[in-house]
Amino acid sequence: MTIKNIDKQYVLNTYNRFDLYLVEGKGSVVKDENKKEYIDLTTGIGVTAFGIADEKWVEAVTNQLTTLQHTSNLYYTSPCALLAKAICEKTDMSKVFFSNSGAEANECAIKVARKYAMDKGYDRVNILTLNNSFHGRTLATLSATGQDHYHELFNPLPTGFVYADANDIDSVIATAKENNVCAIMVECVQGEGGVIALNKDFVNAIYDYAKANDILFVVDEVQTGNGRTGQLYAYMNYGIKPDVFTTAKGLGGGLPIGACVVGEKAQNTLGFGDHGSTYGGNPVACAGALSVVERIDDKLLQDVRKKSEYVFSTLSECEGIEAVTGMGLMIGIKTKKPVSDVIKECMENGVLCLSAKDKLRLLPALNIDFEILKKAVDVIKSACEN
Ligand SMILES: *Cc1c(COP(=O)(O)O)cnc(C)c1O
């Protein structure tokens, strides 16, 4: 039996996989079972921030792996402490809770928001999120996700989530006033929703409203974080600072980790026993993440922005492309041809791309070689034009 058939028979059928079995890679190039090479513009959905088998990341992970792979959260370990310090110092936030995924990081943010309101004596339990958002697959984060088609099959979902329209501050304020809201949670660039950046005025207006009403402003940086948008975190493009932000995906560089990062206001909201995770703060995952966070400096971010400008300007002028959206190296492309056809043609020509709704989505490694990126963009261009 081939690996593909074993997988089809024994792995729960929740993923509509591409007909591609990947076996190895280096940097931004991956190889299939027949050694055919592909330029990887997917990075495991924004996870392998420095590409496959990056030397510095591998070194950080293997050093920790062969020293102390796991304790529990009953003891101190250095990678967890140093990663929390690095994130807080780079963001001017106060404290971090580590989990294993983006959805779990958002679960923590939801708990922080509810308890913050309770501690203050407010009668507020609802979290406001945006229509077309995506916040995860656990029951609560599915409920937080503002897209009905994710909800229908799994009722009853946890209650306490209300939805407003993106880029419509009147909708947000009206919904918040009607529903006793303890937090407003947004993605600065809606990823799964089609790579759509929120307007600057809108984000600033939410910030002002939340601040004036002691509502926590939570930014979901699971996909947008860790250099992806050309700043360390996407909210930095908007000139605001959230009360809480969550991140995962690129943070781990390829190992599972999530983080709920809390600012001064709510830093003492969760105390002993209020939250926990067996694997959260795992030394190996944290050592890898620390090596990722330490490398996202001004020079790298400038480089991300330069590559972004190249992709935006080159593809915007392409015949077969209607629009290029997103920010940094989180790029959505509205193609004239059906996006599935474009992805298929790119794959045949050695380039792996993602989709998001009706758009082609690119999430290349932050350090992708410029020449490799140019080659991939040429393949996308001709796949869109032919
Ligand atoms: C991927 C994603 C999540 C969920 O992360 P998991 O690690 O799959 O649980 C949550 N929010 C956003 C914005 C995401 O892109």
For ligand 1, atom 11, which residue shows the shortest CA distance? 135
* Dist CA 312 CA 335 (whole Å): 13
Report pLDDT for 25: 98
* Minimum-distance ligand 1 atom for the alpha carbon of 138: 9
What is the tens place of the pLDDT at every residue in 65-83? 999 999 999 999 999 999 9
pLDDT one-digit tens code per residue, 117-171: 999 999 999 999 999 999 999 999 999 999 999 999 999 999 999 999 999 999 9
Task: Please check the confidence at residue 108 and state whether its pLDDT lies above 90.
Answer: yes
Q: What is the mean pLDDT of residues 292-313?
A: 98
Mean pLDDT to the nearest integer, 4-14:
97
Instruction: Give the distance (Å) from ligand 1 centre to CA of residue 135.
Output: 6
User: How confident is the prediction for the chain on average, in pLDDT?
Assistant: 98
Least trusted range by pLDDT, from 2-11, 78-87, 145-154, 338-347: 145-154
State yes or no: pLDDT of 186 exceeds 90. yes
Alpha helices in the chain (DSSP H): 3-10, 43-46, 55-65, 78-91, 102-119, 139-144, 148-151, 169-178, 200-212, 283-295, 298-316, 339-348, 370-385
pLDDT computed for residue 88 by the predictor: 98
- Per-residue pLDDT at 386: 81
Average pLDDT over residues 107-120: 98
DSSP secondary structure, 192-239, as one string: TTTSEEPPHHHHHHHHHHHHHTT-EEEEE-TTTTTTTTSSSSGGGGGT
Atom of ligand 1 nearest to the CA of 248: 7
In this prediction, residues 216-240 reach a mean pLDDT of 98
Q: What percent of the chain has pLDDT over 70?
A: 100
> Is it the case that residue 325 has pLDDT exceeding 90?
yes
CA of 106 to the centre of ligand 1 (A): 9
Mean pLDDT, residues 256-274: 98
Mean pLDDT value of segment 285-298 = 98
333 CA from centroid of ligand 1 (Å) = 21
| Inter-residue long-range contacts of 268-272, CB under 8 Å, 24+ positions, other chains counted | 269/112, 269/115, 269/116, 269/119, 270/97, 270/108, 270/111, 270/112, 270/115
Query: Is the pTM here over 0.95, yes or no?
Result: yes
Q: Give CA–CA dist 307/140, Å, rounded.
A: 37
Structural tokens at position 68: 């102390």
Task: Tell whether the model's pLDDT for residue 99 goes beyond 90.
Answer: yes
183 φ/ψ angles, rounded to the nearest 5 degrees: -155, 155
Instruction: Check pocket membership of 43 for ligand 1, CB cut-off 6 A.
Output: no
Output the residue whose Cα is nearest ligand 1's atom 6.
102
Tell which atom from ligand 1 comes closest to the C-alpha of 223. Answer: 15
Region 204-212: mean pLDDT is 98
Q: Does ligand 1 come within 6 angstroms of the Cβ of 222?
A: yes
Q: How many whole angstroms from 325 Cα to the centroid of ligand 1?
A: 20
Average pLDDT over residues 18-22: 98
Which pLDDT belongs to residue 45?
98
Q: Which of 14, 134, 138, 247 to mutate to test the pocket of ligand 1 (most atoms within 8 A of CB)?
A: 134
The average pLDDT across 103-111 equals 98
